[in-house]
């Protein structure tokens, strides 16, 4: 899925999402990651939504986005209430969605200069 051909200089946008990788600023990523428009990409050692713990949340809390787009894989998974509460207690809005939806939504919000973070749990197609 092609998402963005043009992006403002200095900002990290998702160019495309395919079967094998997420392309961000001309680099393919085939692992779970955290992405922000201003700080870029960092690997995130999470394979399932159930694996998200305090250690996994630490870089999210540190960045303190206004909204966290939680990409739960190719299919939608609802985060448990404990996880949602931890984020909301720190005034971080959370929206769980598929990888495809998160990629599109991230580019829109980043393009609006919103303080957004995408936490993308990588799941190859197939």
Residue with tokens 């946008």: 13
Tell me what the mean pLDDT of segment 4-25 comes to: 80
Total-model pTM: 0.91
Q: Is residue 2 part of a domain?
A: no
Provide DSSP, 15-69. Answer: EEE-SS-EEETTEEE-S-EEEETTTEEEE---SSGGG--HHHHHHHHHH--SEEE
pLDDT interval class at 126 (50, 70, 90): low
Q: Is residue 125 part of a domain?
A: no
Tell me what the mean pLDDT of segment 82-107 comes to: 96
Domain count, the chain: 1
Q: Is residue 61 part of a domain?
A: yes
Q: Is residue 63 part of a domain?
A: yes
Geometric angle at alpha carbon 3, from 62 and 52, rounded to 5° = 35
Tell me what the mean pLDDT of segment 36-60 comes to: 96
Q: Is residue 46 part of a domain?
A: yes
Cβ atoms of residues 20 and 124 within 8 Å? yes
Q: Which of 58, 33, 51, 40 is nearest to 121 (CA)?
A: 33
Q: Is residue 4 part of a domain?
A: no
Evaluate if residue 1 carries a pLDDT over 70: no
Q: Which of 38, 41, 37, 39 is nearest to 29 (CA)?
A: 41
Domain, as residue range, for 110: 14-120
In terms of Cβ atoms closer than 10 Å to its own Cβ (0-12, 13-18, 19+), residue 26 is exposed
Q: Is residue 114 part of a domain?
A: yes
CATH number, domain containing residue 29:
3.40.1230.10
Evaluate if residue 13 carries a pLDDT over 90: yes
Q: Is residue 24 part of a domain?
A: yes
Q: Which of 9, 16, 46 is nearest to 31 (CA)?
A: 46
């Amino acid at each position: 899925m092609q998402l963005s051909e043009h992006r403002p200089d200095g900002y990290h946008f998702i160019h495309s999402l395919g079967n094998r990788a997420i392309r961000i600023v001309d680099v393919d990523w085939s692992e779970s990651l955290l992405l922000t428009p201003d700080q870029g990409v960092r690997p995130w050692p999470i394979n399932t939504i159930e694996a998200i713990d305090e250690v996994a949340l630490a870089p999210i809390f540190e960045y303190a986005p206004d909204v966290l787009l939680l990409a739960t894989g190719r299919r939608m998974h609802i985060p448990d209430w404990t996880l949602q509460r931890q984020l909301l207690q720190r005034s971080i809005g959370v929206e769980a969605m598929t990888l495809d939806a998160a990629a599109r939504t991230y580019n829109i919000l980043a393009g609006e200069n919103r303080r957004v973070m995408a936490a993308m749990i990588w799941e190859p197609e197939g």
